[in-house]
Structures are given as C-alpha cells and as structure tokens.
Amino acid sequence: MLIQTKFRNHNGAEEGILAFSQPSAVSLYDAGATIYGQGDPTGQLYMVEFGTVRLCRVSADGRRQISAFYFAGEVFGFESGDQRHFYAEAVDSAGIRVLRPNQNEQFNRSMLKVALDSLVRAQEHLMVLGRQNSMEKVAAFLLDLAERQKTDRVVDLSMQRADIADYLGLSLETVSRILTRLKCAGTIRIPHVKHIELVDFEELDYLRG
C-alpha cells in the first residue's frame, strides 16, 4: 500500500468527487496486476492517482478486447447490473483510490458529470472503431491521448503496441506500420518506444477524418 497526498491532473468534476467523498489511501498495482475481475460485484468506483489502467473483457472465442484506457485523475468502474462485464488491469505501475460515495449534492453533480463524460468517450470510441481506414483510427487515438494528457506535443504511450491494436480493433502489424508511415512523413517523431512527439497536429486532424 502506497500513501499519496497529492492528487494529479484532476478536472473540476473529479476535484468535486474527491472533495465530497471519502477516498481510500492509494493502493499500488504493478504492471499487469488485476484491479477487479470480470464477474466481480459492481458498486465500487475507482480513481487513477498515477499510471494507466486498461478496461478489458474476454470474448466468447477467448480473444481479449480493450474498451478503454484511464489516466491520472480519471474515474472508472461505471457498470450496470450486479456483476462486472469487464476487468481492469494496471498497464504500468499505477496508484488507485477507491471512492466511497457521499450523499452530498455537489458529489452527486460531480459524479453525474464524470459518468456522462465517460459515456461520451465510449461513444467516440465506437465511432473510431467504425472507421474503415486504419490511419484514421491511429490518428484519432494519438489526438485523443494528447487531449486527455493535456499535452501540446509529446504523448506518453504507457501501453504496448499490442494494447493499442486491441483497443483500435487492428492487428499489431498494422499499428506498427501506420506509426512508421507517420514517422517517415514527419507527422510524428518517436524519440522513445514509450513516447511519441506530435509534430504536425493539423495533418493528424486531417488524417483522422
């Protein structure tokens, strides 16, 4: 168990959740560790204090599907029903808080906004999956990372290329090929396997369609 006192990169709604709830101390999860499992009871919500979380499920034919990534300051765990349809894993070393709901009007307003933001993000992801062009998918993914990580140039790729492929519904080879094409075109730079520098935002915006 790791205790952290500083919150990271929270927006207004998430600050409201923290201010009007009783969050747990930060629990540390190693890369690949399970935060909750598919089939576990629903009810608890979680906030990423640092690191990255992937939300996954196993399909009927045994394939892993990644439906979402969550970064520092974001809340996850929203599901309907009594049992979870997805499981959550730490992508890298991650610190996670369990949120204890508070019957407070400000807390409820903040939680509603976070839940609606999560729904909008899920709808946008479905739109990305519906794109026919693999270049559009990768460009949209990179721009989404830049927006959520609040960066104007370098995005942190804490996830592996295979994670990106499963998230975008592409093959690993396709993701690698598209990143190489963007690099050769000067649209991005890849100074490190875990970092991508977005050189030409206008071109990426055009490519995502």
Instruction: List, for residues 78-118, the tens digit of each pLDDT value.
Output: 887 889 999 999 999 999 999 876 666 666 666 666 666 66
Kindly write down the DSSP assignment for every residue of 125-150, as one continuous string.
HHHHHT-S-HHHHHHHHHHHHHHHTT
CATH number of the domain where residue 160 is located: 1.10.10.10
Whether 155 contacts 149, CB under 8 Å:
yes
CB atoms within 10 A of CB 57: 14
Shared domain check, 31 and 50: yes
Shared domain check, 135 and 116: no
Confirm whether 112 is domain-assigned.
Answer: yes
Tally of structural domains, the chain: 2
Shared domain check, 114 and 54: yes
Supply the pLDDT for residue 7. Answer: 41
Highest mean pLDDT among 66-70, 127-131, 184-188: 184-188
pLDDT at 126 exceeding the cut of 70: no
Confirm whether 3 is domain-assigned.
Answer: no
Average pLDDT, the chain: 84
Supply the pLDDT for residue 46. Answer: 92
pLDDT at 10 exceeding the cut of 80: no
The residue range of the domain holding 111 is: 12-122
Shared domain check, 190 and 96: no
Share of the chain above pLDDT 70, in %: 74
Supply the pLDDT for residue 125. Answer: 67
pTM of the model: 0.81
Confirm whether 53 is domain-assigned.
Answer: yes
9-18, 96-105, 195-204: least confidently modelled range? 9-18
CATH number of the domain where residue 56 is located: 2.60.120.10
Q: For 152-164, what is the mean pLDDT?
A: 93
Confirm whether 187 is domain-assigned.
Answer: yes
pLDDT at 21 exceeding the cut of 90: no
173 half-sphere exposure, CB direction, 13 A CA radius: 0
Share of the chain above pLDDT 90, in %: 57
pLDDT at 181 exceeding the cut of 50: yes
List, for residues 37-62, the tens digit of each pLDDT value: 999 998 888 999 999 999 999 888 88
